[in-house]
A and B are shown apart, each in its own frame.
Chain A
């Protein structure tokens, strides 16, 4: 399952909101070995490649969900059907939550991309999966369209996970963050036998980590840090380890048991 550099062809690249989009590549060499939680490195206009979580893969296709935030993602947004992008992947370690547990995925913003695939897969396999997602406003990203498109592209047929939404401005679902939403669900009745996976901004991950640890719920976080090589060679993508020293997101992660990272 070693990573390879492939020339990926854009199948579609569609807007999901004011500054968000989803892109689908035809890239069978990488799609066939990718697993939920892993990421790819795209060689775009800037000097360094840009890391993106694999939002789903299958049927020879790799789908990403991204926020247009700087020169690299701006370049990505401009890629049209038939254009190619050099893609290195799959990179990093996949999620490995205890298989017997029900899954709750908690995401903020485009962090959805880091956890969506495992949640979608879990629901397909007939097990319970709940997506708890927060974003700044309803207009930030159309999650339903994103899932419809990536499920169709990767030929996922079957049940969808249950979904609950929160927005910072209250335009959809609970007014607050994804972790607030998780907490309110908990107050209504703590679920038993679950594992939590999370991806999003650092403050959100920190809140999620503490929420889960206090309740002794297994929690796995998908972390982000600025990257150089993406393969563990430059030691640039350091995040502090709870036992001292640093982990490297690209090699030791991006997925970490929450108790092992210091955030």
Chain B
């Protein structure tokens, strides 16, 4: 993409040539996509979740296909901070901004990881609060606003990098958690992480995944993600990276309309690693058809009223919505 495609976006000061970010865990450390020439179309790449110590990951099977998506329990397999910072990151030359993604067992580990990443060439740190807090009974950090506030504050105090906080819908109300992250100093919010789920093997009638539970992703979770983006857009002023089932240029428009400044491509990269280039090309065409000079003009337009009207509606500490009884 050249500089005049009209689909460039800026997220928390990061200039992206397209609104497409490779989601953490779906693009490794970028070298695999680079090797097959599949980086084109990506605006940035989020690296595989990083932990302080190496992790060998969960017992296989780790993947199970679901109608319209997949279930995974990779278990944050990664070589650990020392190897990633010392050996992998220095050799990476992808030509697009990199975002590190961190996961801790404790508040302390999150802070330590952020500190270590402060001096390496990544543009931002994404804080994965969907991991269990071993000091507080294994509940995920992202489950309540208080623990998210504490995590993000500690991380904020440990690095000068931009902070993206990656939210899960496995909480009472994602809007409350988003506000806590904003108050604690987040620069942007990524949502959503995979949705907790399981599958039963139809033949053995036993849990399909070696780890029993996993995270659901792909088109199956798109409506859940859209609602989360919608809700969060209304209560915070932070830019949102919308993710969950994005597979087409039309999906990108819908996420942006709901309030996302850009989107993450996760499972779709597994289906077709070359799809970012195709989706970016389609976005340029769609922008022209929408008669917009810049695609980013549509961000939040779904909030301006009902279908058909445009305009960005209320933003930040506005009235909540999207919580109706069914």
Chain A residues engaging chain B, CB cutoff 8 angstroms = 2-5, 43, 46-49, 86, 88, 225-229, 231-240, 244-246, 251
Contacts and interface: CB of A to CB of B under 8 A. Distances in A.
A8 to B, nearest CB: 15
Contacts of B56: 244-246
Interface string B24-61: 01111000110111000000000010000000110011
A48 B273 CA distance: 11
B77 A47 contact: no
Nearest to B34: A2
24 contacts: A4-B36, A5-B273, A46-B65, A48-B65, A48-B271, A86-B272, A226-B60, A226-B64, A229-B269, A229-B270, A231-B32, A231-B33, A232-B28, A233-B28, A233-B269, A234-B26, A234-B72, A234-B74, A235-B62, A238-B77, A239-B60, A244-B56, A246-B56, A246-B77
B36 A228 contact: no
Nearest to B36: A3
A184 B269 CA distance: 47
B271 A47 contact: yes
Nearest to B28: A233
B145 interface: no
Size class of the contact patch on chain B: 20 to 34
A2 B25 contact: no
A43 B271 contact: yes
Interface in B79-130: none
B218 interface: yes
Given A231-B35, A233-B26, 9 more contacts: A5-B36, A43-B271, A47-B68, A226-B61, A228-B70, A231-B33, A234-B25, A235-B57, A236-B62
B215 to A, nearest CB: 12
Contacts of B28: 232-235
B267 interface: yes
Contact of A227 (B48, B63, B74, B218): B63
Contacts of B68: 47
B65 A47 contact: yes
A228 B72 contact: yes
A2 B65 contact: no
Contacts of B62: 226, 235-238
A47 B218 contact: yes
A48 B267 CA distance: 9
Interface of B: 25-28, 32-33, 35-37, 48, 56-57, 60-65, 68-70, 72, 74, 77, 218-219, 267, 269-274
A5 B35 contact: no
Greatest chain B CB density within 10 A among A46, A228, A237, A245 is at A228
A48 B60 contact: no
Contacts of A233: 26-28, 32-33, 269-270, 273
Contact of A226 (B25, B63, B269, B274): B63
B273 A246 contact: no
A246 B57 contact: yes
A239 B74 CA distance: 12
Contacts of A49: 270-272
A4 B32 CA distance: 12
B74 A235 contact: yes
A133 B44 CA distance: 49
A28 B57 CA distance: 38
Contacts of B37: 2, 4
Given A2-B36, A245-B56, A246-B77, A48 B61 contact: no
Nearest to A251: B32
Contacts of B274: 5
B72 A236 contact: yes
A88 B275 CA distance: 13
A229 to B, nearest CB: 5
B197 to A, nearest CB: 15
A232 B274 CA distance: 15
A236 B63 contact: yes
A228 B36 CA distance: 16
Contacts of B77: 235, 238, 246
A43 B56 CA distance: 29
Contacts of B269: 229, 233
Centre residue among A4, A49, A246, A251 by max chain B CB count within 10 A: A246
A227 B70 CA distance: 11
A137 to B, nearest CB: 20
A163 B26 CA distance: 43
Nearest to A240: B60
A176 to B, nearest CB: 24
Nearest to B55: A245
Contacts of B65: 46-48, 226
